[in-house]
């Protein structure tokens, strides 16, 4: 794994069955659709994928099935960060062996008030146990959920010790000042910064961000790709304004149920509304309101969309 993924990446939704098993066929078809409709890569088992609601065995099996179905592993990032050290190692080794573009790792997030030394020891020990010089590790900074952060000093130390492996960071802090500081301090060839908030995509790109990894890419990756490719134009500014409006609408609802409900309606496929416990599907009356608000915001729905 030598080439860093850049551009628009979707933390892909995971379709599930009525009895809470991964729906392999729908999920892999969604990966393919994303790659054909604006995504440069797909993040398998990120937050929006409900990653921590699935077992290690389930996660490994789906990744294998995706590659067997023809999804190119070099276009996949894989979420492998778990609370259990052994689980993180197992998932990371598996992704490396398959040839994925890299892994995105949460910090170990159960215990709080961790020292920088303790977190460095965790990642250094993991890197040594993976024992492969050709893989790429992306850090996943999401303190609103994980609570445990990646401090600037920890990032600097990891890069200094493992410059060929520690390849970037996804910043889901929700704080654009933090994103700007990450870009200023660390963005360079070999280390990429991806905001998780697409409402700041254009500004971040113009500062040196490598792209964006937002959950909403599951719905409007083509629009985000237009911004990525035309970042220096007035057209990109118009698209950014639309994206920001759409994001505000979607964030008025529980994110994962809302995105799955939108996909369900776009594809006329009720199975896509299923979510893994403890989440609950978005009620139909809330979906109607969401769709109306997105339309009013100016979202250009795909031609295949049909309201039943």
47 catalytic residue (yes or no): yes
**List 14, 27, 47, 48, catalytic entry:** 47
Q: In the numeric block, which tokens belong to residue 75?
A: 């276009």
Q: Are 246 and 290 in contact (CB under 8 A)?
A: no
Q: Which of 170, 180, 260, 273 is catalytic?
A: 170
Burial of 99 (0-12, 13-18, 19+ CB in 10 A): middle
Active-site residue identified among 140, 157, 179, 200: 140
Residue 138 known to be catalytic: no
Please state, in angstroms and rounded to a whole number, the distance separating the CA atoms of residues 225 and 94.
30
* Residue partners of 192: CB distance under 8 A and separation at least 6: 4, 6, 138, 167, 168, 169, 209, 210, 211
Is position 140 annotated as part of the catalytic site?
yes
Catalytic residue among 17, 110, 111, 233: 110
Q: Distance between CA atoms of 74 and 23, rounded to whole angstroms?
A: 23
Whether 55 contacts 45, CB under 8 Å:
no
What ranges make up the beta strands (E) of 16-82? 41-44, 76-79
- The catalytic residue positions are 47, 110, 140, 170
């Amino acid at each position: 794994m030598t080439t860093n993924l850049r551009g628009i990446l979707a933390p892909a939704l995971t379709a599930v069955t009525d009895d809470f098993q991964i729906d392999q066929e729908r999920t892999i078809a969604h990966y393919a659709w994303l790659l054909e409709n604006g995504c440069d890569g797909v993040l398998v088992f990120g937050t929006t994928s409900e990653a921590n609601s699935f077992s290690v065995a389930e996660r490994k099996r789906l990744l294998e099935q995706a590659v067997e179905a023809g999804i190119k592993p070099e276009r996949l990032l894989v979420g492998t960060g778990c609370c259990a050290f052994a689980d993180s190692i197992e998932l990371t080794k598996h992704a490396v062996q398959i040839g994925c573009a890299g892994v995105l790792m949460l910090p170990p997030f159960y215990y709080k008030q961790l020292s920088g030394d303790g977190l460095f020891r965790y990642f250094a020990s993991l890197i040594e146990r993976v024992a492969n010089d050709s893989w790429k590790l992306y850090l996943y900074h999401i303190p609103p959920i994980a609570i445990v952060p990646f401090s600037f000093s920890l990032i600097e130390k990891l890069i200094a010790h493992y410059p060929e492996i520690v390849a970037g960071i996804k910043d889901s802090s929700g704080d654009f000042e933090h994103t700007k500081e990450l870009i200023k301090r660390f963005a360079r060839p070999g280390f990429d910064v991806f905001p998780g908030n697409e409402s700041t995509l254009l500004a971040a790109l113009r500062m040196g961000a490598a792209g964006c990894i937002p959950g909403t890419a599951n719905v409007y990756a083509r629009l985000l790709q237009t911004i990525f490719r035309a970042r220096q134009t007035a057209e990109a500014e118009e698209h950014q304004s639309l994206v920001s409006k759409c994001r505000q609408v979607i964030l008025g609802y529980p994110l994962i149920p809302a995105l799955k409900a939108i996909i369900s309606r776009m594809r006329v496929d009720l199975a896509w509304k299923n979510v893994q416990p403890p989440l609950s599907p978005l009620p139909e009356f809330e979906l109607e309101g969401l769709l109306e608000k997105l339309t009013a915001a100016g979202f250009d729905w795909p031609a295949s969309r049909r309201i039943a």
